[in-house]
């Protein structure tokens, strides 16, 4: 069984992230979308909220599930008996950072392989930080996030 981990902060989970999960579930037997606790970021949504929102967004994908973790990604990957880490790459600038991380993860755990997936072209400019800014300024996020997440963004910024 090929189990893959798709890690990220997903604050919020976008249609670009969803596209990567859909692609990954067509390749791997199981995909675990895992929300990482990142101490260098101040998230808009709690880890619990992000897990719940992603779970709702991918509920139609039977071979995908959602989890969260703290610590080294390779340690989490081992605990899940996974051998693949999925990373979405939108632009060349993403690749440089992701390539460095993939090599470091390989050094830490040589049996784990990083697979880079590109989202559909229409999502290459999309990022969670851009979505947060659009929502904060009262813009329409409907084209960029699943419906359940758009509702949560509206609730968050209407307060």
Looking at the annotation, which residues are catalytic? Answer: 17, 41, 90, 128
CB atoms within 10 A of CB 3: 16
What are the strands of the beta sheet with 3-8, ordered from one edge? 64-69, 30-36, 3-8, 84-88, 113-117
d(CA 83, CA 153): 34
**DSSP element (H, E) containing 113:** strand 113-117
d(CA 65, CA 51): 10
């Amino acid at each position: 069984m090929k189990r893959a981990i798709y890690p990220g902060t997903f604050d919020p989970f976008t249609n670009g992230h969803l596209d990567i999960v859909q692609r990954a579930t067509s390749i791997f037997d199981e995909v675990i979308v895992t929300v990482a606790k990142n101490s260098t970021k101040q998230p808009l949504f709690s880890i619990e909220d992000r897990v719940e929102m992603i779970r709702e967004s991918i509920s139609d994908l039977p071979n995908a599930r959602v989890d969260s973790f703290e610590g080294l990604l390779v340690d989490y990957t081992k605990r899940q008996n996974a051998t693949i880490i999925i990373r979405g790459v939108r632009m060349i600038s993403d690749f440089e950072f992701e390539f460095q991380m993939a090599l470091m993860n390989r050094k830490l755990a040589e049996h784990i392989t990083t697979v880079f997936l590109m989202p559909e072209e229409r999502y290459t400019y999309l990022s969670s930080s851009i979505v947060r800014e659009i929502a904060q300024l009262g813009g329409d996020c409907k084209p960029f996030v699943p419906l359940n997440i758009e509702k949560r963004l509206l609730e968050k910024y209407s307060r």
